[in-house]
């Protein structure tokens, strides 16, 4: 059964049509890349999947929710099933790594202190950051902040992980470390994973299905050998 199923949807931002007649199906364990120039609709697709942009046309089911009928009160429940990782980490700067994760759990309905502590320890251990749980974001390197952000994304054991340029602000060695961490999580937990990237080396080292955004359209790259990535990687 598909975890993400979009059929013939339009993505609209501030009254402007960004992508039209979009089709996408992802099942448990699927992994895809999304490429496209700045402004081509990649982030708008992610915002649609998490219920930030409404869907008015076509069919759209994400983690068991019908986005065409999604009520505002349902959005937090949808987002419990989705982990999102951003390029700029988006950690709360006035809270430690531990407190950033605790804030998310309490915001998504966790109440038992013992269960909260156990889940945070497990998530931080999974990303190699348990030993820095009391550090503030400004005390961490970019790679360490992204590890905490990934821990935050996997807290609720999501069915879907959306990663929007997660290595974009990192040096080349750290990019490879973070990508290896994503692959480890994907292998062990088997979420459906969509990753936006402009990094050709990642596409080559960790091959997967590739979809492109451009000129208002969204489609899969059928022949990677013949595809001119230079038009989509700026």
| pLDDT tens per residue across span 55-76 | 989 999 999 999 999 999 999 8
Confidence band, pLDDT 50/70/90 cuts, at residue 200: confident
Cα 47-75-41 angle, rounded to 5 deg: 10
Ramachandran bin of 90, using left for φ above 0, alpha for ψ from -120 to 50, beta for the remaining angles: left
Confidence band, pLDDT 50/70/90 cuts, at residue 130: very high
Confidence band, pLDDT 50/70/90 cuts, at residue 207: confident
Residue identified by tokens 């998530």 is 123
CATH (residue range 1-81+159-234):
3.40.50.300
Does residue 231 register a pLDDT over 70?
A: no
Q: What pLDDT, on the 0 to 100 scale, is given for residue 40?
A: 87
Q: What pLDDT, on the 0 to 100 scale, is given for residue 51?
A: 93
Long-range contacts of 224-229 (CB under 8 A, 24+ apart): 229/35, 229/200, 229/203
pTM as predicted: 0.92
Q: What pLDDT, on the 0 to 100 scale, is given for residue 45?
A: 94
Distance CA 48, CA 51 (A): 5
Residue-averaged pLDDT of the chain: 91
Q: What pLDDT, on the 0 to 100 scale, is given for residue 169?
A: 86
Does residue 4 register a pLDDT over 70?
A: yes
- Contact yes or no for 4/26 (Cβ under 8 A): yes
Q: What pLDDT, on the 0 to 100 scale, is given for residue 225?
A: 66
What are the tens digits of pLDDT across the range 74-110?
A: 998 998 899 999 888 889 999 999 999 999 999 888 8
- Contact yes or no for 208/30 (Cβ under 8 A): no
Max Cα distance, the chain (Å):
54
Does residue 196 register a pLDDT over 80?
A: yes
Domain boundaries, the chain: 1-81+159-234, 92-157
Residue identified by tokens 């997660």 is 166
Residue 82 burial class via C-beta count within 10 angstroms: exposed 0-12, middle 13-18, buried 19 and up: buried
Percent residues over pLDDT 70 in the chain: 95
Distance CA 126, CA 180 (A): 12
Buried b (16+ CB within 10 A) or exposed e, 196-227: bbbbeebbeebeeebbbbeeeebeebeeeeee
- Contact yes or no for 124/81 (Cβ under 8 A): no
Phi and psi torsions of 19, nearest 5°: -135, 140
DSSP-assigned letter for residue 174: H
């Amino acid at each position: 059964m598909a975890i993400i199923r979009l059929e013939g949807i339009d993505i609209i931002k501030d009254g402007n049509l960004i992508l039209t007649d979009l089709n996408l199906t992802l099942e448990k364990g699927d992994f895809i890349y999304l490429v496209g120039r700045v402004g081509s609709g990649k982030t708008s697709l992610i915002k649609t999947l998490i219920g930030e942009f409404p869907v008015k046309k076509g069919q759209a089911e994400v983690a068991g929710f019908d986005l065409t009928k999604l009520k505002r009160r349902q959005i937090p429940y949808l987002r419990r099933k989705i982990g999102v990782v951003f390029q700029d980490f988006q950690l709360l700067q006035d809270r430690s790594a531990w407190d950033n994760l605790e804030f998310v759990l309490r915001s998504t309905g966790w109440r038992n202190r013992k269960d909260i502590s156990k889940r945070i320890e497990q998530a931080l251990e999974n990303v190699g950051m348990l030993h820095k749980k009391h550090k503030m974001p400004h005390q961490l390197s970019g790679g360490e902040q992204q590890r905490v952000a990934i821990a935050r994304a996997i807290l609720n054991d999501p069915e879907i992980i959306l990663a929007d340029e997660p290595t974009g602000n990192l040096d080349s060695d750290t990019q490879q470390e973070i990508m290896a961490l994503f692959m480890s999580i994907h292998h062990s937990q088997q979420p459906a994973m969509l990753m936006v990237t402009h990094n050709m080396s990642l596409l080559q080292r960790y091959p997967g299905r590739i979809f492109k955004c451009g000129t208002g359209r969204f489609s899969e790259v059928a022949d990677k050998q013949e595809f001119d990535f230079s038009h989509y990687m700026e």
